[in-house]
Amino acid sequence: MTTLVKYTKQSPSRRWSWLTDPLAALIRDRFALGGLIILAIFFLIAIFAPLIATHPPFESAISDTGRLMRLQPPSADHWLGTTTFGQDVFSQFVLGFRVTLMVGVLGAIAVGVISTLFGVISGYFGGWVDDVLMRITDIALSIPTLPFAILAVGLLGPSINNIILVIVLLFWRNGARIIRSAVLTERERVYVKWARTAGASHVHIIRCHILPNVFRVIFLWVTMSVAFAVLTEASLSFIGLGDPSTTSWGQMLNTAFTSGNLRSAWWWVVPPSLALVMLISSLYLVGRAFEEHANPRLRAK
């Protein structure tokens, strides 16, 4: 009897269960909750970055005696010290939140949209579309990711737009494959067949039956894509192929590295490194909780 009552109580909210169930799983998982909190803080800093930054990021600090204040350790005026060009590390670091998260989120959304589009079309309709997609992804999966990014960004010119473009080119393929196989299982479910027999249109079936059920997979892939995008941008910038008009974390580390101060100026090196590790790990922790939620064999008893 109790189960019946419980079920009727829940039923109005079942409509949104595809969204609320995974979210509840994330909050129950303590690691994922920690990740979510870190992500929330990072997003807040990114949004208010221009208000938090204390100096213009590329302005060189000149001391009262007219000398360039290079490689100053942290002080009251420069909270995280200065770079070898006398620029304020704290301001560059704070504005780096914006660049990094922008590349991550924009890249991941684009990857998510394209993967979903191709995955759903190919998985739902099958046929030659599916064949072509599978062959394309076969080839794309043999392309080494970062070398391709280095080549493409190096040849097209280092800018944020090109970096995002390369990220989308690199990561849509895995997503499309994963979403495709999820759609494939959903398509064979009995209620989908019933809906089709009852005369439901393809659009209706995709919107009401397929998408809510593969949402978890899409969300997982978008989360991972943010991590991949951030990692790719940071790696490219560290190599020296970052957008020169911005101050991303990878770029700060690149400047510290190429100017030979990697080993001495800890105030310059530690903040961007730590932020990158925290950001990517948080995304992985959230993604992991999703994966475990989706795999009942891994769920703790």
Smallest distance from another protein to CB 262, Å: 6
Residue with smaller CB distance to another protein, 150 or 195 = 150
Q: With binding defined as CB under 8 A, does residue 284 bind another protein?
A: yes
Q: With binding defined as CB under 8 A, does residue 151 bind another protein?
A: yes
Residue with smaller CB distance to another protein, 45 or 280 = 280
Residue with smaller CB distance to another protein, 53 or 286 = 286
Q: Would you give the binding string for another protein spanning residues 37-66, x where CB under 8 A is met?
A: ------------------------------
Give the range of 10-18, 78-86, 91-99, 233-241 binding another protein by CB under 8 A: 233-241
Query: What dihedral do alpha carbons 144, 148, 149, 150 form, nearest 10°?
Result: 110
Give the SS3 label for residue 68: strand
| Residue 72 to residues 38, 79, 116, 147, Cα–Cα distance (Å) | 29, 10, 49, 36
Smallest distance from another protein to CB 300, Å: 5
- Angle (CA) 28 33 36, round 5°: 140
Distance of CA 136 to the CA centre of its chain: 24
- Residue from 141, 191, 201, 204 touching another protein (CB under 8 A): that is 141
Give the range of 13-21, 84-92, 148-156, 205-213 binding another protein by CB under 8 A: 148-156
Among residues 298, 114, 140, 292, which one has the least CA distance to residue 218? Answer: 114
Q: With binding defined as CB under 8 A, does residue 145 bind another protein?
A: yes
Q: State the SS3 of 71-136.
A: CCCCCCCCCCCECCCCCEHHHHHHHHHHHHHHHHHHHHHHHHHHHHHHHHHHHHHCHHHHHHHHHH
Residue with smaller CB distance to another protein, 89 or 285 = 285
- Residue from 86, 218, 280, 293 touching another protein (CB under 8 A): that is 280
Contacts of 267 (CB under 8 A, 6+ apart): 73, 74, 80, 81, 89
Q: Write the burial class of residue 114 (CB in 10 Å: 0-12 exposed, 13-18 middle, 19+ buried).
A: middle
Smallest distance from another protein to CB 71, Å: 15
In the chain, the amino acid numbered 99 is V
Please give the residues from 235 up to 274 whose contact with another protein meets the rule CB under 8 A. 235, 238-241, 253, 257, 262-264, 266, 269, 273
Among residues 297, 295, 288, 294, which one has the least CA distance to residue 29? Answer: 288
- DSSP output for 237-258: HHHT-S-TTS--HHHHHHHHHH
* Contact assessment for residue 231 and residue 113, using Cβ atoms and an 8 Å cutoff: no
Q: With binding defined as CB under 8 A, does residue 181 bind another protein?
A: no
Smallest distance from another protein to CB 113, Å: 23
- Residue from 164, 205, 217, 234 touching another protein (CB under 8 A): that is 234
Q: With binding defined as CB under 8 A, does residue 139 bind another protein?
A: yes
Interacting residue ranges for another protein, rule: CB under 8 A: 31, 138-139, 141-148, 150-152, 154-157, 227, 231, 234-235, 238-241, 253, 257, 262-264, 266, 269, 273, 276-277, 279-285, 288, 295, 297-298, 300-301
